[in-house]
């Protein structure tokens, strides 16, 4: 009775010979079927991977992970981009006592092609932070950047008796942070990594001339990759060796502050290796006291050859 799914009772027949034959065949079938249903499963021979098949390699992954419909492993919530509102003691005559911390930025949206989210802040020239504004930036390749305000200290005005007050201001910031976190939590994100390049700031009064001299003094094969902006183009080059890439970026010349530079300096970049998408940081600081310093970011895609050259030419050669 324990093997009902495996066994079937023989039909009754008229002759003893038929019965004997059927009994013989049935007995054999019982032995065969019971053995098939109850014998232990034999494991395949154990194969020890050679040293080249490390835990991080594709060959070392379980077979189910190669299936097209396999679900991704659960993400560590702490690794996803999120914001944190933290209360702190600050000068009550100038500031409401809060700060917004950002974790896991910049990051690429894995479900929507060409979307990177980052955080930014702006304050006017000469400010001590009393007019600082913090925001999220949603960068889409080839499109305008979407901006979501997180806080605006210029509207807090703790010194103004007619203002709502810090309790209301903090509650408003908390609501914005929670809304931003809900939007972030709805996506799957992959953090960008810093790109090991030298951001060349041509004409900047703060550019390290000693660094410039050290680059030229290096052997050509040891010189790092530089990113610079010139004549409305983003350029990746190895000084005196080759130009790796040129991208037309005329929009980068546009900035609303007439006291700042018309062409930006490059501060660096973060990149997603799988897609080549890079968030380039640049600023229009002129060094003048009337220029409101602000770091801007723009999304572009770097060629695989450029990324390969970056890996082969680390900036640590300048140390």
pLDDT tens profile 115-147: 999 999 988 877 888 899 999 999 999 888 999
Asked if 180 and 100 touch (Cβ cutoff 8 Å), the reply is no
pLDDT confidence tier of residue 13, bands split at 50, 70 and 90: very low
Q: Is the dihedral of CA 37, 40, 41, 44 positive or negative?
A: negative
How far, in Å, CA of 22 to CA of 200, rounded?
A: 91
How far, in Å, CA of 294 to CA of 282, rounded?
A: 9
Give the Cα-Cα-Cα angle 300, 303, 304 (nearest 5 degrees).
Answer: 130
The answer, yes or no, to whether residue 210 has pLDDT greater than 80, is no
How far, in Å, CA of 315 to CA of 319, rounded?
A: 8
How far, in Å, CA of 121 to CA of 153, rounded?
A: 11
Greatest CA separation found in the chain?
Answer: 115
What count of residues does the chain have? Answer: 319
How far, in Å, CA of 176 to CA of 183, rounded?
A: 11
- Cα within 13 Å of Cα(8), Cβ side: 5
How far, in Å, CA of 151 to CA of 85, rounded?
A: 10
Q: Do β-strands 295-301 and 189-191 pair in parallel, antiparallel, or remain unpaired?
A: unpaired
What's the whole-number mean pLDDT along residues 49-77?
40
Average pLDDT, the chain: 77
Specify the pLDDT at position 10: 37
Gyration radius of the chain over CA positions: 32
At 28-43, the pLDDT tens digits run: 443 444 444 444 433 3
What's the whole-number mean pLDDT along residues 163-190?
95
pLDDT confidence tier of residue 221, bands split at 50, 70 and 90: very high
What's the whole-number mean pLDDT along residues 83-92?
93
Q: What percent of the chain has pLDDT over 90?
A: 47
104: left (phi over 0), alpha (psi -120 to 50) or beta: left
Specify the pLDDT at position 294: 67
The answer, as to whether pTM is greater than 0.75, is no
> What H or E segment, with its residue span, contains residue 300?
strand 295-301
How far, in Å, CA of 113 to CA of 106, rounded?
A: 15
- What are the helix (H) ranges across the chain? 16-38, 166-185, 209-217, 304-312
């Amino acid at each position: 009775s324990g093997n009902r799914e495996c066994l079937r009772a023989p039909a009754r027949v008229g002759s003893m010979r038929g019965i004997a034959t059927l009994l013989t065949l049935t007995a054999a079938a019982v032995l065969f079927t019971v053995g098939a249903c109850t014998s232990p499963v034999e494991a395949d021979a154990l194969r020890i991977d050679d040293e080249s098949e490390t835990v991080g390699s594709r060959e070392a992954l379980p077979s189910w992970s190669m299936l097209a419909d396999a679900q991704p492993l659960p993400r560590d919530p702490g690794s996803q981009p999120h914001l944190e509102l933290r209360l702190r003691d600050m000068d009550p005559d100038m500031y409401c006592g809060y700060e917004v911390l950002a974790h896991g930025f910049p990051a690429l949206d894995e479900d929507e092609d060409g979307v990177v989210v980052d955080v930014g802040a702006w304050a006017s020239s000469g400010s001590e932070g009393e007019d600082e504004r913090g925001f999220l930036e949603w960068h889409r390749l080839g499109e305008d950047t979407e901006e979501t305000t997180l806080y605006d200290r210029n509207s807090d005005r703790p010194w103004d008796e007619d203002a709502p007050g810090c309790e209301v201001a903090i509650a408003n910031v908390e609501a914005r942070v929670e809304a931003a976190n809900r939007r972030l939590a709805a996506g799957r994100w992959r953090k960008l990594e810093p790109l090991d390049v030298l951001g060349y700031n041509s004409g900047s009064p703060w550019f390290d001339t000693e660094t410039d001299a050290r680059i030229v003094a290096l052997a050509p094969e040891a010189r790092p990759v530089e990113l610079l902006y010139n004549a409305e183009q983003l350029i990746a080059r190895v000084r005196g060796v080759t130009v790796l890439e040129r991208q037309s970026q005329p929009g980068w010349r546009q900035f609303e502050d007439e006291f700042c530079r018309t062409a930006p300096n490059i501060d660096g970049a973060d990149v997603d290796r799988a897609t080549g998408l890079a968030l380039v940081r640049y600023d229009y600081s002129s060094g003048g006291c009337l220029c409101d310093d602000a770091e801007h970011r723009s999304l572009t895609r770097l060629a695989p050859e450029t990324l390969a050259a970056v890996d082969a030419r680390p900036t640590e050669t300048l140390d």
